[in-house]
Amino acid sequence: MMKNKGRMIVVSAPSGCGKGTILAEILKDDSFFYSVSATTRAPRVGEEDGVNYHFISNDEFEKLIAEDGMLEYAKYCDNYYGTPKKILEEKMNEGINVILEIEVQGAMKVREICPDALFIFIVPPTISELERRLRKRGTESDDVIAKRVSEAAGEIQKAVNYDYILVNAALEDAVEDFKTIVKAESMKTACSKNLIDEVLKNA
Amino acid sequence: MMKNKGRMIVVSAPSGCGKGTILAEILKDDSFFYSVSATTRAPRVGEEDGVNYHFISNDEFEKLIAEDGMLEYAKYCDNYYGTPKKILEEKMNEGINVILEIEVQGAMKVREICPDALFIFIVPPTISELERRLRKRGTESDDVIAKRVSEAAGEIQKAVNYDYILVNAALEDAVEDFKTIVKAESMKTACSKNLIDEVLKNA
């Protein structure tokens, strides 16, 4: 059977929803590739080139823009941030799904450029549970937690603009649900254009 | 978490694709219900009321039509055949998925009436494999097999009108794929209308 092209998967979630942990589990599977953003800002202490970001010069970034090499980009505080396109296309052509971890606004921008991408929004089981998790960390003040919870509530309302809503109640289930979505999507008629021809070969 | 409503699932497949075997496995799970058609024709030897069909009188059938009690119906050879609506709605309200096993033309009729239903088309891995399976049964003449294979090839081209194409290469995988599709669909944003409210409760 001919291999399907890999899928572009855009993942968003409010902070504290366990998105990073879920993606770390997903990425243990070779059929997924994590898209590392490029930026012109200087690396911070502990940041690694190619892991946290691809740290490139202003000239390199602008050359990529000019060559249509960025899927999307934005400039904040005089620094460019963007998603290099070439590697994503290469991986997808190999049948590998590429994961873009971006915030709601960026995700909606990608939706316009890549309507075929898959949009998954991760939510906590309840907002009270999110608050409980943030408190349990014990790293932030009550004020900061209240602010985060209120921001999360606002973001979660944007989930309606995504294709799927994944509830992270338990890590293992959430990881399985994520894979279930991707597997089911691969059986969609729209993703199986060559499949009917394959089945009917020699008919 | 509030229970989602059950889904209407329309399943079609050319004869010999193993649809019956897959559905028998799926129906072992209580969260699925098989929609038994109603007919006014007389039961054939071995047919059981409520299993193969609901055998009802002409008056009863026409009363159901008049009461808008049929999801869809047709008349062949002076006999009515149709899908009673009430039981399906009851089951779906209980969160149970209802399976309608119908041929392509009927399926497209249901699509018009129930655009929210889920449409799955089952195909063999290849048309040659379908032929091999039909021969293996050893119950039909070469002529009949050739006719069936040619009909199947024609039907498979209609698969493009379905939401998902499920390849039945191995029974166990096909059953799992079927459940994967239904599970993923339950996480679709459109099926999770109350979910966001639930998450944001007490926010």
Closest CA to A94 of A1, A31, A35, A37: A31
The length of chain B is 203
> Cα–Cα distance between A158 and A58 in angstroms, integer?
33
Judge whether B183 is closer than 8 Å to chain A, CB to CB.
yes
Chain A touched by B123 (CB under 8 Å):
yes
pLDDT digits (tens, 9 = 90+) for B154-185: 999 999 999 999 999 999 999 999 999 999 99
> Are A167 and B127 an interchain contact pair (Cβ–Cβ within 8 Å)?
no
- Give the pLDDT score at A2: 55
Q: Is the pLDDT of residue B203 over 70?
A: no
Retrieve residue B135's tokens: 């021969």
pLDDT, position B65: 96
Q: What is the pLDDT of residues B4-40, one digit of tens each?
A: 789 999 999 998 889 999 999 999 999 999 999 999 9
Tell me the two tokens of residue B70.
């049929």
What ipTM was assigned to the predicted interfaces of this complex?
A: 0.87
pTM of the full structure: 0.89
Burial (CB count within 10 angstroms: exposed 0-12, middle 13-18, buried 19+), residue A57: exposed
* Nearest CB to A163; choose among B167, B188, B201: B188
Is the CB of residue B188 less than 8 Å away from at least one CB of chain A? Answer: yes
* Residue B87: pLDDT over 80: yes
Which residues in chain A have Cβ-Cβ distances shorter than 8 Å to B128? Answer: 201-202
| Residues A195, B165: C-beta atoms closer than 8 Å | yes
A180 in contact with chain B, both atoms CB, cutoff 8 A: yes
Rounded Cα distance, B114 and B85, in Å? 12
Q: Is A2 in the B-facing interface, judged by CB distances under 8 Å?
A: no
What tokens appear for A91 in the block? 């991986």
Among candidate residues A146, A157, A138, A123, the one with its CA nearest the CA of residue A16:
A123
Give the H/E segment covering residue A118: strand A118-123
The yes-or-no verdict on residue B143 having pLDDT over 80 is yes
Query: Chain B residue closest to A131 (CA)?
Result: B203
Q: Decide which of A201 and A54 is more confident.
A: A54
Residues of chain B with pLDDT > 70, as a percent, come to 97
